Amino acid sequence: MMRSGFQRVARLAHHRALLRTHLLPRLHQASAFGSSTDSLVARFCPEKTDLKDYALPNSSWCPDMLSLYQEFLEKTKSGGWIKIPSFKSNREHIQGLKLPLGLVTDSDKQDWRIFTRCILLEGQGYEYVIFFHPSEKKSVCLFQPGPYLEGPPGFAHGGSLAAMMDETFSKTAYLAGEGLFTLSLNIRFKNLIPVGSLAVLDIQVEKIEDQKLYMSCIAQSRDKQTVYAKSSGVFLQLQLEEEPPQQQ
């Protein structure tokens, strides 16, 4: 297993020198790279920002989505939950971080969008919000697929749920332990999600071992009577160093 993990790391590292200088293959402890979850959350979820947060209620949200959102928002006041903001681009999420060599960081004239915010029309594409529980290393994603995410008539495309799972795994992996790159994603689909309805994704970090985070997810209706899909995901830990402070 270890060897396989390192082989994979080696493969990743060979791609355009992407990860060359930032892999720390001798580290095996679960504590990632010294960044506490609190500091990761503080960096990732700025209290004040001019960036538009797309994970806020709008008129397209169905009553189930709205009321569960309010429930979790209450839990952010005392229950240990944190609402994760959602910006148009991942570049906005990782501002101030030093990326592994090879990742493009310069902002050019392209309109870059994180895939799950590719459609900005309210209600037409992805509507979602992620809440994270740092001490329990778990997340909940409220997901409402719009008509641009269709697969079978009237239902969400399986790939849209796969992407939503990958994105929620991704944010959870980073906040829970600097997990950065998806290594694997295994999904078993059970039932179709009707377009315009709420699916609740419960994500749990199962273990952190050999620089990898192992996570599980169940997507179901709010009343838990209908399971839409179950999945597991493995993410590779990588350190995103902070830029040194600018000289005044």
Position 216 contacts a second copy (CB under 8 A) = no
* Residues near a second copy (CB under 8 A), total: 61
CB-CB neighbours of 78 under 10 Å = 7
Rounded Cα gap, residues 176 and 40, in angstroms: 8
Binding residue (CB under 8 A) for a second copy from 53, 64, 71, 150: 150
| Least separation in angstroms between CB 164 and a second copy | 7
In the numeric block, which tokens belong to residue 49? 């920002």
Minimum CB–partner distance for residue 167 and a second copy (Å):
6
Decide if 223 is catalytic: no
**157-186 footprint of a second copy as x/- string (CB under 8 A):** xxxx-xxxxxx--x---------xxxxxxx
Binding of a second copy by 188 (CB under 8 A): yes
Indicate the burial class of 8 (C-beta count within 10 angstroms; 0-12, 13-18, 19 or more): middle
Cα four-point dihedral sign 152, 155, 160, 166: negative
Q: Are 39 and 178 in contact (CB under 8 A)?
A: no
Question: Is 42 a residue that touches a second copy (CB under 8 A)?
Answer: no
Selected range binding a second copy among 4-12, 38-46, 65-73, 201-209, rule: CB under 8 A:
4-12
DSSP string, 57-83: --TTS-HHHHHHHHHHHHHHHHSS-EE
* Two tokens, residue 210: 């050999």
Residue 222 within binding range of a second copy, rule CB under 8 A: no
Q: Is 21 in the site for a second copy (CB under 8 A)?
A: no
Decide if residue 189 touches a second copy (CB under 8 A). yes
Query: Which among 37-45, 61-69, 114-122, 127-135 is the span making contact with a second copy, rule CB under 8 A?
Result: 114-122
* Catalytic position from the list 50, 53, 108, 166: 166
C-beta neighbour count of 37 within 10 angstroms: 18
Q: Quick one: which segment of 11-19, 24-32, 33-41, 52-60 binds a second copy (CB under 8 A)? A: 11-19
Nearer CB in complex with a second copy: 134/196:
196
Residues contacting residue 241 through CB under 8 Å, at least 6 positions apart? 22, 97, 98
The two tokens of residue 89 are: 């681009």
Distance (Å, whole) CA 137 – CA 122: 30
Region from 7-15, 38-46, 71-79, 207-215 binding a second copy, contact rule CB under 8 A: 7-15
Contact 236, 208 (CB under 8 A): no
Residue 8 beta carbon to a second copy: minimum distance, rounded to whole angstroms: 7
The residues, ordered by sequence, that sit 6+ positions from 90 with a Cβ below 8 Å of its Cβ are 112, 114
Binding stretches for a second copy (CB under 8 A): 8, 11-12, 15-16, 18, 89-91, 94, 99, 103-105, 110-116, 118-119, 124-125, 147-160, 162-167, 170, 180-192, 194, 226
Task: Kindly list the catalytic residues.
Answer: 166
